[in-house]
Amino acid sequence: MRSQLALRGRGYSAYCATKGALVMLVKQHAMELAPYNITVNGVAPTFIQSDRIRPHLDRPEFREFILERNPLGRIGDPLEVAGQVIAFAAPAGSYMTGQVVYIDGGVTASQ
Protein backbone atom coordinates (compact mmCIF):
# COMPACT_ATOMS: atom_id res chain seq x y z
CA MET A 1 0.00 0.00 0.00
CA ARG A 2 2.85 2.40 0.77
CA SER A 3 3.99 2.10 -2.84
CA GLN A 4 0.77 3.96 -3.74
CA LEU A 5 0.02 6.13 -0.71
CA ALA A 6 2.45 8.39 1.12
CA LEU A 7 2.18 9.26 4.80
CA ARG A 8 1.99 12.92 5.77
CA GLY A 9 4.51 14.11 8.33
CA ARG A 10 5.63 10.66 9.38
CA GLY A 11 9.24 10.39 8.17
CA TYR A 12 8.59 7.27 6.09
CA SER A 13 10.46 8.35 2.95
CA ALA A 14 12.79 5.35 2.81
CA TYR A 15 10.00 2.89 3.64
CA CYS A 16 7.65 4.23 0.95
CA ALA A 17 10.45 4.45 -1.62
CA THR A 18 11.42 0.81 -1.08
CA LYS A 19 7.79 -0.29 -1.40
CA GLY A 20 7.59 1.57 -4.71
CA ALA A 21 10.83 -0.08 -5.81
CA LEU A 22 9.36 -3.52 -5.10
CA VAL A 23 6.43 -2.78 -7.39
CA MET A 24 8.85 -1.85 -10.17
CA LEU A 25 10.93 -4.97 -9.45
CA VAL A 26 7.83 -7.14 -9.98
CA LYS A 27 7.20 -5.42 -13.31
CA GLN A 28 10.81 -5.72 -14.46
CA HIS A 29 11.11 -9.37 -13.46
CA ALA A 30 7.83 -10.05 -15.30
CA MET A 31 9.30 -8.58 -18.49
CA GLU A 32 12.60 -10.43 -18.16
CA LEU A 33 10.95 -13.79 -17.47
CA ALA A 34 7.99 -13.55 -19.88
CA PRO A 35 9.97 -15.08 -22.77
CA TYR A 36 10.30 -18.21 -20.62
CA ASN A 37 6.55 -18.28 -19.93
CA ILE A 38 7.17 -17.40 -16.27
CA THR A 39 4.77 -14.97 -14.65
CA VAL A 40 5.72 -12.61 -11.85
CA ASN A 41 3.10 -10.88 -9.71
CA GLY A 42 2.90 -9.48 -6.21
CA VAL A 43 0.47 -9.10 -3.38
CA ALA A 44 0.49 -6.08 -1.12
CA PRO A 45 -1.66 -6.75 1.93
CA THR A 46 -2.47 -4.19 4.57
CA PHE A 47 -3.09 -5.15 8.20
CA ILE A 48 -4.00 -8.83 8.27
CA GLN A 49 -4.94 -10.78 11.40
CA SER A 50 -1.65 -12.32 12.57
CA ASP A 51 0.53 -12.70 15.61
CA ARG A 52 2.78 -9.94 14.27
CA ILE A 53 0.04 -7.31 14.13
CA ARG A 54 -2.01 -8.49 17.11
CA PRO A 55 -0.18 -6.32 19.71
CA HIS A 56 -0.96 -3.21 17.64
CA LEU A 57 -4.59 -4.18 17.09
CA ASP A 58 -4.97 -4.78 20.83
CA ARG A 59 -4.50 -1.02 21.29
CA PRO A 60 -8.05 0.36 20.91
CA GLU A 61 -6.98 3.70 19.42
CA PHE A 62 -4.84 2.02 16.76
CA ARG A 63 -7.50 -0.56 15.91
CA GLU A 64 -10.13 2.17 15.58
CA PHE A 65 -7.83 4.20 13.31
CA ILE A 66 -7.32 1.20 11.01
CA LEU A 67 -11.01 0.30 10.92
CA GLU A 68 -12.14 3.89 10.24
CA ARG A 69 -10.02 4.26 7.12
CA ASN A 70 -10.88 0.82 5.73
CA PRO A 71 -13.94 0.89 3.44
CA LEU A 72 -14.82 -2.71 4.34
CA GLY A 73 -14.52 -1.76 8.02
CA ARG A 74 -12.61 -4.82 9.14
CA ILE A 75 -9.17 -6.40 9.40
CA GLY A 76 -8.25 -8.89 6.68
CA ASP A 77 -7.94 -12.62 7.22
CA PRO A 78 -4.83 -14.59 6.15
CA LEU A 79 -7.04 -16.76 3.91
CA GLU A 80 -7.93 -13.67 1.91
CA VAL A 81 -4.26 -13.17 1.07
CA ALA A 82 -3.67 -16.86 0.43
CA GLY A 83 -6.61 -16.90 -1.97
CA GLN A 84 -4.97 -14.31 -4.20
CA VAL A 85 -1.65 -16.15 -4.15
CA ILE A 86 -3.44 -19.35 -5.16
CA ALA A 87 -5.17 -17.47 -7.99
CA PHE A 88 -1.80 -16.28 -9.29
CA ALA A 89 -0.40 -19.82 -9.13
CA ALA A 90 -3.42 -21.52 -10.70
CA PRO A 91 -3.76 -22.13 -14.45
CA ALA A 92 -6.56 -19.54 -14.52
CA GLY A 93 -4.01 -16.89 -13.49
CA SER A 94 -1.45 -17.77 -16.14
CA TYR A 95 -2.13 -14.72 -18.32
CA MET A 96 -1.50 -12.18 -15.57
CA THR A 97 2.03 -10.92 -15.13
CA GLY A 98 3.69 -7.77 -13.84
CA GLN A 99 0.83 -6.89 -11.53
CA VAL A 100 0.59 -6.09 -7.84
CA VAL A 101 -2.74 -6.69 -6.15
CA TYR A 102 -3.46 -4.56 -3.09
CA ILE A 103 -5.35 -6.64 -0.55
CA ASP A 104 -6.44 -3.81 1.69
CA GLY A 105 -10.22 -3.71 1.98
CA GLY A 106 -10.35 -0.84 -0.51
CA VAL A 107 -7.96 1.57 1.21
CA THR A 108 -5.87 2.32 -1.90
CA ALA A 109 -9.04 2.75 -3.96
CA SER A 110 -10.43 5.30 -1.55
CA GLN A 111 -7.48 7.49 -0.57
Segments making up each domain of the chain, as ranges: 13-110
Read off the pLDDT band of 11 (50, 70, 90). confident
Q: Residue 18 phi/psi, 5° resolution? A: -70, -35
Residue 44: which of 96, 97, 81 has the closest Cα?
Answer: 81
DSSP structural state of residue 15? H
The verdict on whether 15 is a catalytic residue reads: yes
Q: Is the pLDDT of residue 109 over 70?
A: yes
Phi, psi of 100 (to 5 degrees): -120, 125
For residue 110, name the pLDDT band (cuts at 50, 70, 90): confident
- The band of 14, judged by pLDDT with boundaries at 50, 70 and 90, is confident
Residues 6 or more apart whose CB falls under 8 angstroms from that of 56 comprise: 47, 62, 63
pLDDT at 5: 64
25-54 residue pLDDT tens: 999 999 999 999 999 999 999 889 999 999
Candidates 16, 15, 41; CA nearest to 26 is: 41
Active-site residue among 12, 15, 95, 102? Answer: 15
Domain 13-110 matching CATH 3.40.50.720: the answer reads yes
